[in-house]
Amino acid sequence: MERFKEDLKQAIKNIKIADHMTYVTLPLVNEKRLILKIFDEIHKSIINCINASLNYEYLYKRIKLYNSRDKNIETFLKKCAKNYSLTNQQIEKIKEILIINKKHKQSAMEFVKKEKVIILSDNLKTKYLDIEIIKEYLLLTKELFIKLNKKMNQ
């Protein structure tokens, strides 16, 4: 099986996990720290969708792949995203997810305050995630997957 199909299969698996955790598990257990786990699943799905796109475009010799993950993501955002009819707003949200994930990984501390998970960086800047933001990101991830899947299976 081609590499891009494996990436798409993994992306849908991550979407299903994030969706279930958002709409079933979180309301049931009401543990706000689950928001971080859901965000991780959304991020994994975005990365798998990006990898599927890059591998698909590389297979048809439309782009060049690099050893650097950052260069490959940049290639996707600049060269591939428009091929899949992604809007500028969707591209910006994908960038936002990637940036938040990087901050989350480098974070000195994360804590729950009211209904939000606060991510505190080393320079004490904060970024927060709540269920509404998670639902927006999940919707974006589903739209991205649908657009990629539709284009790749034509």
Which pLDDT score, from 0 to 100, does residue 1 have? 56
118 in any annotated domain: no
105 in any annotated domain: no
79 in any annotated domain: yes
Which pLDDT score, from 0 to 100, does residue 9 have? 95
SS (H, E, C) the chain: CCHHHHHHHHHHHHHHHHHHHHHHHHHHHCCCCHHHHHHHHHHHHHHHHHHHHHHHHHHCCCCCCCCCHHHHHHHHHHHHHHHHCCCHHHHHHHHHHHHHHHHHHHCCEEEEECCEEEEECCCCCEEEECHHHHHHHHHHHHHHHHHHHHHHCC
111 in any annotated domain: no
| Number of domains comprising the chain | 1
114 in any annotated domain: no
85 in any annotated domain: yes
Which pLDDT score, from 0 to 100, does residue 82 have? 87
Residue-range definition of the domain harbouring residue 58: 3-98+131-152
36 in any annotated domain: yes
- Ranges under pLDDT 70 in the chain: 1
Mean pLDDT over each residue of the chain, to the nearest integer: 92
First to last CA, the chain: 17
- Which CATH number goes with the domain that contains 60? 1.20.120
92 in any annotated domain: yes
Per residue in 108-138, pLDDT (tens digit) is 788 888 889 998 877 778 888 999 999 999 9
pTM to 2 decimals? Answer: 0.93
Which pLDDT score, from 0 to 100, does residue 154 have? 72
